[in-house]
Amino acid sequence: MHNLWRCVALGLLSATAGEAQLDIWQLGGSGLEWSQADSVEILIDFERTPGAIQPVYLTPDQTVFSHLHNWQFWRDPSDKILGYIDGQMPRIWKFKDGIPDPSENGSWLIDGDSTSYNIPIAQGGISAEYFTIDVAVPVPAVRFGFFTSPVGFRIEGTPTLTDAPPAFDVSIGGDADPAIPKGGNDLLEKVVANVAENFDPTVHIDFPRQYVRFIRWRRQLSILDEEALSGCRDCGAQGNQARAIKGNIGDFELFALGVPQRGIYVTKIVDLGSIANFGRLHWAATPMRMEGDRAIEAPNTPVEVKVEVRTGRDDVPDIYHEFTNTGLEKEVSRDRYENDLKARLVRVSADAGSFRTREPKPGVRASIAYDSDNWTFWSVPFTESGQPLRLRSGSHLQFTITLKSEDFDAWVRLDSLWVETAPLLADDVRGEVARADDLQPQRGFTEVELGAMTDFVYDVQAVFTSAQASGFDALRIHTSNRAAFRRLEMGTPLAAVDPAEIVEEESALVVRLPDRITPTQNSPIRVVFGTEVFEFAATFEGEVFAADSESLPQQIVPGDAGEAISTNSLRVLSSPDASPELIQNLSFSTLILTPNGDQVHDELHIAYSLFRLPEQVPVTLEVYSLDGRRVARVAIGTQDSGPQQITWNGRDQWGKIPAPGLYLLSISLGTDAPQQSQLRPLGIAY
């Protein structure tokens, strides 16, 4: 199998000693071609523009289902299908979950072959005759349809061609339809058809263009069913339990016009040949729009590239296990797990959802664990080209690329993607952190008081297994908030030394060492600094680099950096008695705002701290009158955990100043987490 990636040498950037050769790995453009065979792809077009990928532009002359592959027939395949990821596999299932028989699970109804069809079996009754389709991502749908099979006969001789389902309804849903997680056969968000009497073997249901991910087709009780029931004893109200229910389906169809809301492309795991450091992730992309029947470049369209990356030091990111005689687990190869071992879940009857679990014994699959010792977890999504990866060095790479659009007729074409690589500075660089007053915490991890200035000890130890690595002479510790340098210690035993340079950045501390760390001069390093922590769990990520060269930085990985600290971690947690409030320490620069232009209290300076936010959230200033009416709501933008300051000029969202009087001000966060309002009084006078 051909190698998906090719190492493209950029050449030496300069001739200074210790400088390393920088390379790039590239897909598209002048690099390797994008390869459909070596990836997971959902509605990706490899042919419209050679050398680039983009979402498929769907047209009503071809059903959406024909563009999708690797269908699954379970409602929730995650506990039955290896490697299932929601949104990366289309699904069609019948009744509550799905069964292996293709005549019943829906596989035959999206295959484009009308000679494979479904005649409902009476065993489950009419209430069990419903199918749910998940096309994995929302598509700009305009029509749903189905038709009977042109071949075959029912048992009493009726041609299947004329055997139309006599009554049905169809509902559709978007990306997060609330009915899907519940199971069952509830209607989805929007009903597009409710037909009580149908004699047409071919049905097309048109509706306004809209994003659709889920479609649910349900058989309904009809007059024809009631007539059949009249000659059937013990049939009940659910339909004819003695024979096949009237009506068959040869194929479902879904038609769309435009691009999906997301196109998904996942590269295979790629072997780079040797362990490397990673620099910045770049891509070249072109926003596009369909004008008539022509695709044109359109720079201002609402489209986005999102890239997630993970790196590893072997070719399999998962650890597979088999049960032993004692019911414990032992590690096995992926090949044995997938091809030789039996699944834990086994069907015991033909009823949908009727399963039992095998006993834990040899020959039966046990758990799958993530190999976090050798693989990083997927990175946070990159949405801007040129950002540093800040991932651990590795010999393997994998990318998940999402091409997003909020416009039916606009998309982004990804022309090329590349990442900088360079040789290691050391075989490994380990780090661990603890509070300066508690180097070996009793509970094994570091706890801090949120919002309080705290001194930390950060120990670093490089590992060299050969004399080839060039070493480093500086390190950067990412602290989220401004840090204050206390001291640097090096050597065995550790002793205070003067750093060559200290840079206290806005959210990081840079320390340049007085001596270079090399295979022959590998001193332990300790940095002591003070900073405030505002997150429930904060990780002091770090990296080492050579300040006098263009070589790439190397990530510091959590691990045992020495006996003095026992945490083996770069993470600190908030103490159990930390306040649960997200907004704290709200204060005003003045209690009376006088926005009259005399330069005295014309503006209100508001200070506060945000705690325990997992990401940036929208922040809004809200102003209330004393009777509870909101008189102003001013959007501030997005903010993260930490100390914040904003300024208000006394005007509402329309630019008007509220009438003189006493008001209550509050800061509101756009998050689902519960938050308690902190109302502070403010007088306005002019």
Would 2 be classed as within a structural domain?
no
* 15: pLDDT strictly greater than 90: no
- Is position 1 within any domain? no
Q: Is residue 336 assigned to a domain?
A: yes
Convert the pLDDT of each residue in 227-256 to its tens digit.
555 555 444 444 434 456 788 899 999 999
DSSP state of 182: H
Tokens read off for 183: 């199971």
The pLDDT of residue 359 is above 70:
yes
Residue-wise pLDDT for 190-225, tens only, equals 999 999 999 999 999 999 999 999 999 999 988 777
Specify the number of domains making up the chain. Answer: 5
Q: Does one domain contain both 137 and 219?
A: yes
DSSP assignment of 312-372, as one string? ESSS--EEEEEE-TTS-EEEE-HHHHHHTSBPSEEE-SSSTT-EEEPPS-TTBEEEEEE-T
Q: Kindly state whether residue 387 falls inside one of the protein's structural domains.
A: yes
Residue 349 has pLDDT above 50, yes or no: yes
Q: What is the mean pLDDT of the chain?
A: 87
Of 36-40, 141-145, 167-171, the poorest mean pLDDT is in: 36-40
356 or 122, which is more confident?
A: 356
- Here the CATH number for the domain that contains residue 433 is 2.60.40
Name which residue leads in pLDDT, 165 or 352.
165
Q: How confident is the model at residue 97 (pLDDT cuts 50, 70, 90)?
A: confident
Specify whether 176 is located in the same domain as 302: no
CATH code of the domain covering residue 289: 2.60.120
Same domain, yes or no, for 544 and 635?
no
541 and 398 within one domain:
no
505, 523: one domain = yes
Residue-wise pLDDT for 400-440, tens only, equals 999 999 999 999 999 999 999 999 999 999 999 999 999 99
Q: Are 322 and 362 in contact (CB under 8 A)?
A: yes
**CA nearest to 217, candidates 197, 191, 243:** 191
- 135 and 234 together in one domain: yes
- Is residue 435 domain-resident? yes
Residue 364 is assigned to a structural domain of this protein: yes
> 522, 557, 574: which is the final residue of a domain?
574
Q: Does 330 share its domain with 399?
A: no
The mean-pLDDT minimum among 57-66, 94-103, 523-532, 654-663 falls in: 94-103
CATH number of the domain encompassing residue 166? 2.60.120.260
Instruction: Clarify whether residues 222 and 281 are in a common domain.
Output: no
Same domain, 279 and 293: yes
Domain boundaries, position 338: 318-368
Q: For residue 613, what pLDDT is reported?
A: 83
Q: How would residue 345 be classed by pLDDT, with cut points 50, 70 and 90?
A: confident
Among 422, 444, 459, residue at a domain's last position: 422
CATH number for position 638:
2.60.40.4070
- What pLDDT shows up at residue 5? 34
Q: Is residue 234 part of a domain?
A: yes
Q: Same domain for 204 and 75?
A: yes
347 pLDDT tier (thresholds 50, 70, 90): low
Domain end marker among 219, 236, 256: 256
One domain, residues 167 and 245? yes
Nearest CA-CA partner of 530 in 483, 565, 488: 483
DSSP letter at 656 equals P
Q: Is the pLDDT of residue 659 over 50?
A: yes
**Is residue 17 included in any domain, yes or no?**
yes
- C-alpha span between 315 and 327 (Å, rounded): 28
Model confidence band, residue 578 (pLDDT cutoffs 50, 70, 90) = low
Q: Are residues 327 and 397 in the same domain?
A: no
